[in-house]
Amino acid sequence: MKAPIKIFSGSNSEYLAGEIAKAAGLQLGKSSITRFSDGEFEVCYEETVRGAQVFIIQSTYPPTDNLMELLLMIDAAKRASAYKVIAVIPYFGFARQDRKDRPRVAIGAKLVANLLMAAGVDRVMTMDLHADQIQGFFDIPVDHLYGSSVLLPYIENLKLDNLVVASPDMGGSKRANTYAKYLNAGLAICHKSREKANVVGEMTAIGDVDGRHVVIVDDMIDTAGTITKAANMLKEKGALSVRAIATHAVLSGPAYERIKESALEEVVFTDSIPLKKEVSKIKELTIADIFAKTILNVYNCESISSNFIL
């Protein structure tokens, strides 16, 4: 007899989890969280999970409480005799800490992988990791999905002539090159120097953008310093329009104000992280369908590669 499937949500991803469950033709499971006055909290499943394949949907942004909540939900499911526990993490927090880039720093992404495995997770499903090698930090299967599945069709539907795909920095050049090849577009790369974390110094562009429509692609936008500086610089170099697309709308600090005041015509995100404000320049595309299809494919032991565009 096949194990039943159950989908639950952490408190940070309730809307997305509800849309994923609906797209999969399932009901979202019932769970609760009790908070104590000192900040400690306790999670509880309000229905049986015994013998079930349990999918827990939770983006870990902001990272600390949401990660801890996810770990507790995994532990609770294992202790309640779930057959398999799969963590569905649309946005994987701490992914920027994927290596020792200077002395005496932690590799946060590896620590999070260790914590998830110690909690008892059997599989991880995520989207657009900041660094692909994080998949190798796990000793369990990792399904790495791509935001391009919804972002590329959006760009194609814009039907822009003289399109150039730009990377906001050297690190994103591989992603931008992949998009440019798929769209048969030109390529530009912005080169930046950082004064310190989240602060961009000088920026220049490699590639011709004069008289072209430019789409900047990235995996996430945090304070929006890099993306808005790049957009303003590209407009000064003669770009007809500048848009940005990114999978994860981290958008911390002055990000919303920077986007509003920048030369960006629009910024397109997926709904991996809930938006905090409504801004006319910001558009959101849902990833519920791709996660629903992947969850059902994994549950039915079917290939998930058909869900990818790139």
* Active site (annotated) includes residue 281: no
Q: Using the CB atoms, write b or e for 176-188: b if 16+ within 10 Å.
A: bebbbeebebbbb
User: Of 22, 78, 181, 192, which one is the catalytic site residue?
Assistant: 192
- 10 Å Cβ neighbour count for 196? 7
Q: How far is 46 from 60, CA to CA, in rounded Å?
A: 22
Q: Which residues are catalytic?
A: 192
